[in-house]
Chains A and B, each alone.
Chain A
């Protein structure tokens, strides 16, 4: 488990596509100026927010504050997160 370790430790920074299903993570960064990511931001998937993966696959299901979002794995791979609550 990643809990208890310092949040900013680089070993915990990974992309959302590589995050296991279940435990939550916090979003570090998303690409700027890509319309798809601007849309994701408005949907609540933005820096500092908690996110968890519900289903893995080429099409993933994420949960952001209780809202489920279906997302292409390629998009998820461009979202940087840090593991832990």
Chain B
């Protein structure tokens, strides 16, 4: 028995045991080393994503019990080194330091090394070991090494690194038990000399890489291993300026199609489920203010939010699959040359794609953009892309203008999408020419080996992202809808307080023994006109008059400033159409035709394509930019743009149609 082994327990006993010591395991590794897959293998779906304090860098953490002892597993962001060049590297270094400083934490570092790309993993291994000698190397992707009949001497590697090396395959699930057993061993973490030269601290990358190259060669590793013939062949086509672009268009079109097609059925279920819930609540609750709060306020808000969940889930699942195959990096490579012209980096295309479902997850996914200025520019223009919440408005207006001409309706629909894309690129150019002067960072991206995607990882990502969306958004939308409900409900009016013409109309309807639903709808419209929302709408109507909006549409626009999808249900109430019309934007469109000139319909469409109208998006922008300056700028420039464009549309269309 060595002195260290004898003295260790006594040192432990000397420490006051006020609380149970926690084993903390930090997982570090290069991007594409299979770190997340391994982390998921060990934690299942128990991990939660959170931001590292004061940053937008995300960490996934899981608290587990292993052999009755608490263990905290932390998935650090993917890193190339610990040189503190990026926010991710700083966060990783901080996490290691915090673990070392906390006396109640036993720290163990796990380096997830890609066995098919050992040199670069060893670069990070050297840096990690320098900070903490309780390092375990999980030598991942051994299945790929074995498939090519190569031998990698992990025992020799372990000797050279002075750390246990566990060969495994996270995808196949081999070697996981051995890793878990190694993690249960006694941890002891102290800074150690850098294994590259065993004397210095902070070697130059060149020295470290020379060392990594030698160690790899001595362990039998092959540097050329990653360049598989498949990668070579696929890259010849997929990164070509012409065929690559064609492939990009086809793959993205298929992705889009898949998102909308696959989400259709679950969206219908959610819609019907909430309709049933509302009907059930209406039938059971007495007809009073509380029932109105539950049915019109809370249930409609929750239903209106949850309906986007299937699209967000499928979007993140498919994006994760594409990323895992290695294609997403190629897509960024191919479109970079075009994006740079608009002042945006190639990597911004994934957020742009996501923004067509919902701007919120899109803004969150801008975290993959390294340069803060590029990231900000991307965030500022993302809400211009046509998200799902705009679709009901597009349906409403096309139904108003071209009910009997499906070809024209389709063309206007497509034009609305195109207008959003065009506005985003033009705005980006303007922003990069003024506020965020300069061109986007030149392309620098790793193109990982193509491989079969891991569906469990994709599923975990989708569950994780959807959870974040729900937690951050559902509560907020609920609050907004309650405020809108209150504005549209108070002050309440009795029939006698309503204008004389409404009273006369109601009396006439009663006399004619009209359908009670029609009478109720007429009263509801008058009540809304009497409420704060109605008064506000009438006050601001002159502002919207140059766009061709009547007071009802003005109220609708005001009501939808916090959430644009509110416009359809608001207009249904405002035009006295009753509850059943709320579900059908097409019938609201027909009503719009009776009340507005066609030019105003076009101007309404343009306004909704370009206006901000989404408070949750603004809150997320505030979170990601760390203040209200940029979300307010976003609101100001988009509202100005929407107003000016809608004004021009109305004026020109009026002249032309006359």
Inter-subunit contact A48/B206 (CB<8 Å): yes
Of A36, A38, A44, the contact of B83 (CB 8 Å cutoff): A38
A69 and B117 in contact (CB under 8 A), knowing A42-B80, A49-B206? no
Inter-subunit contact A67/B83 (CB<8 Å): no
Q: What residues on B are CB-neighbors of A55 within 8 Å?
A: 235, 239
Chain A residue at minimal CB-CB distance from B447:
A68
Inter-subunit contact A69/B206 (CB<8 Å): no
Asked if A74 is at the interface of the complex by the 8 Å CB criterion, the answer is yes
A49–B85 alpha-carbon span in the complex (Å): 21
A60–B446 alpha-carbon span in the complex (Å): 12
Q: What residues on B are CB-neighbors of A38 within 8 Å?
A: 83, 85
Inter-subunit contact B444/A39 (CB<8 Å): yes
Q: What residues on A are CB-neighbors of B117 within 8 Å?
A: 65-67
Inter-subunit contact A66/B235 (CB<8 Å): no
A74–B239 alpha-carbon span in the complex (Å): 18
Inter-subunit contact B442/A36 (CB<8 Å): yes
A57–B241 alpha-carbon span in the complex (Å): 9
Inter-subunit contact B206/A65 (CB<8 Å): no
Chain B residue at minimal CB-CB distance from A47:
B206
Inter-subunit contact A67/B445 (CB<8 Å): no
A67–B83 alpha-carbon span in the complex (Å): 20
Q: Which of B86, B119, B329, B444 has the most CB of A within 10 A?
A: B444
A71–B336 alpha-carbon span in the complex (Å): 10
Inter-subunit contact B227/A66 (CB<8 Å): yes
A55–B51 alpha-carbon span in the complex (Å): 38
Asked if B402 is at the interface of the complex by the 8 Å CB criterion, the answer is no
Inter-subunit contact A39/B80 (CB<8 Å): yes
Q: What residues on A are CB-neighbors of B80 within 8 Å?
A: 39, 42-43
A14–B592 alpha-carbon span in the complex (Å): 68
A68–B116 alpha-carbon span in the complex (Å): 13
Q: What residues on B are CB-neighbors of A68 within 8 Å?
A: 226-227, 231, 235, 446-448
Inter-subunit contact A69/B444 (CB<8 Å): yes
Inter-subunit contact A67/B120 (CB<8 Å): yes
A66–B80 alpha-carbon span in the complex (Å): 16
Q: What residues on B are CB-neighbors of A7 within 8 Å?
A: none
* Closest-CB distance, B504 to chain A (whole angstroms): 72
Inter-subunit contact B446/A65 (CB<8 Å): no
Of A40, A58, A65, the contact of B223 (CB 8 Å cutoff): A65
A70–B448 alpha-carbon span in the complex (Å): 10
Contact flags B539-574 to A (C-beta < 8 A → 1, else 0): 000000000000000000000000000000000000
Inter-subunit contact A61/B239 (CB<8 Å): yes
Asked if A35 is at the interface of the complex by the 8 Å CB criterion, the answer is yes
Chain A residue at minimal CB-CB distance from B120:
A44
Of B209, B231, B241, B444, the contact of A72 (CB 8 Å cutoff): B444
Q: Which of A41, A55, A61, A75 has the most CB of B within 10 A?
A: A41
A70 and B213 in contact (CB under 8 A), knowing A44-B119, A46-B206, A55-B239? no
Q: What residues on B are CB-neighbors of A72 within 8 Å?
A: 336, 442-444
Asked if B205 is at the interface of the complex by the 8 Å CB criterion, the answer is yes
User: Which of B327-343 touch A at CB < 8 Å?
Assistant: 329, 332-333, 336-337
Inter-subunit contact A61/B223 (CB<8 Å): no
Of B235, B444, B446, the contact of A54 (CB 8 Å cutoff): B235
Of A36, A41, A65, the contact of B213 (CB 8 Å cutoff): A65
Inter-subunit contact B336/A59 (CB<8 Å): yes
Q: What residues on A are CB-neighbors of B123 within 8 Å?
A: 42, 44
A54–B206 alpha-carbon span in the complex (Å): 23
User: Which of B112-127 touch A at CB < 8 Å?
Assistant: 116-117, 119-120, 123
Contact flags B210-223 to A (C-beta < 8 A → 1, else 0): 10010000000011
A37–B332 alpha-carbon span in the complex (Å): 20
A54–B227 alpha-carbon span in the complex (Å): 11
A64–B442 alpha-carbon span in the complex (Å): 19
Chain B residue at minimal CB-CB distance from A66:
B226
* Closest-CB distance, B447 to chain A (whole angstroms): 4
A36–B443 alpha-carbon span in the complex (Å): 9
Of A40, A57, A58, A65, the contact of B120 (CB 8 Å cutoff): A65
A42–B119 alpha-carbon span in the complex (Å): 11
Of B204, B370, B443, the contact of A70 (CB 8 Å cutoff): B443
Of B86, B226, B444, B448, the contact of A40 (CB 8 Å cutoff): B444
Q: Which of A36, A38, A70, A75 has the most CB of B within 10 A?
A: A70
* Closest-CB distance, A70 to chain B (whole angstroms): 4
A67–B32 alpha-carbon span in the complex (Å): 11
Inter-subunit contact A70/B205 (CB<8 Å): no
Q: What residues on B are CB-neighbors of A54 within 8 Å?
A: 235
A69–B32 alpha-carbon span in the complex (Å): 13
A43–B370 alpha-carbon span in the complex (Å): 15
* Closest-CB distance, B352 to chain A (whole angstroms): 19
A70 and B442 in contact (CB under 8 A), knowing A39-B85, A61-B235? no
Inter-subunit contact A70/B209 (CB<8 Å): no
Asked if B651 is at the interface of the complex by the 8 Å CB criterion, the answer is no
Chain B residue at minimal CB-CB distance from A52:
B227
Inter-subunit contact B447/A70 (CB<8 Å): yes
Q: What residues on A are CB-neighbors of B447 within 8 Å?
A: 61, 68-70
Q: What residues on A are CB-neighbors of B444 within 8 Å?
A: 36, 39-40, 69-72, 75
Inter-subunit contact B443/A59 (CB<8 Å): yes
Inter-subunit contact B227/A69 (CB<8 Å): no
User: Which of B80-131 touch A at CB < 8 Å?
Assistant: 80-81, 83, 85-86, 116-117, 119-120, 123
A47–B208 alpha-carbon span in the complex (Å): 11
A70 and B329 in contact (CB under 8 A), knowing A43-B120, A61-B235? yes
A25–B174 alpha-carbon span in the complex (Å): 38
Chain B residue at minimal CB-CB distance from A39:
B85
Chain A residue at minimal CB-CB distance from B241:
A57
Q: What residues on B are CB-neighbors of A41 within 8 Å?
A: 205-206
* Closest-CB distance, B130 to chain A (whole angstroms): 15
On B, residues with C-beta under 8 Å from A are: 80-81, 83, 85-86, 116-117, 119-120, 123, 204-206, 209-210, 213, 222-227, 231, 235, 239, 241, 329, 332-333, 336-337, 370, 441-448
In the assembled complex, 10 residue pairs joining A and B whose CB atoms fall closer than 8 Å, in A order, are: A39-B85, A46-B205, A48-B209, A49-B213, A63-B227, A66-B117, A66-B225, A67-B226, A67-B446, A69-B444
Give 3 nearest A-B pairs by CB, closest first: A72-B442, A42-B81, A66-B226
A39-B444, A47-B206, A49-B209 given; 9 more Cβ-contact pairs under 8 Å: A42-B81, A47-B205, A49-B213, A59-B337, A66-B224, A68-B446, A69-B446, A70-B333, A71-B444
